[in-house]
Amino acid sequence: DQQVKQNSPSLSVQEGRISILNCDYTNSMFDYFLWYKKYPAEGPTFLISISSIKDKNEDGRFTVFLNKSAKHLSLHIVPSQPGDSAVYFCAAINQAGTALIFGKGTTLSVSS
């Protein structure tokens, strides 16, 4: 049973436009969420996180929004750049606080 879901396997966006990547979760006890970015043949790199006591966290071009009632979070990238083309993983910290539960990822392609 998948606890963290990224229902869109891929997303294509033009350079300069907004990219919105979505993530849903099933466990209302999750209280910390993270986004990672992964290029081919490299390890994932941490992008941004959000605690459940907040509904928004911003870092430069990246903003994460959390809607607890809908059990939904989204990552906004504005403006999108070709270098943002990568796989993006949403993750939640498990209830024990010991490990991350990852979604299956969304491949973002930004065309110039």
Which residues of this chain interact with another protein, rule CB under 8 A? 6, 9, 32, 34, 36, 41-46, 49, 89, 93, 97-105
Residue 99 neighbours by CB under 8 Å, 6+ apart:
93
Nearer to another protein, 71 or 79 (CB): 71
Supply the minimum distance, in Å, between the C-beta of residue 9 and another protein: 7
Query: Nearer to another protein by C-beta: 70 or 99?
Result: 99
We find the least distance from the C-beta atom of residue 96 to another protein, in angstroms, to be 9
Looking at the Cβ atoms of 15 and 39, the one nearer to another protein is: 39
Q: What is the DSSP string of 25-92?
A: ES-TT--EEEEEEE-TTS--EEEEEEETT-SEEEETTEEEEEETTTTEEEEEESS--GGG-EEEEEEE
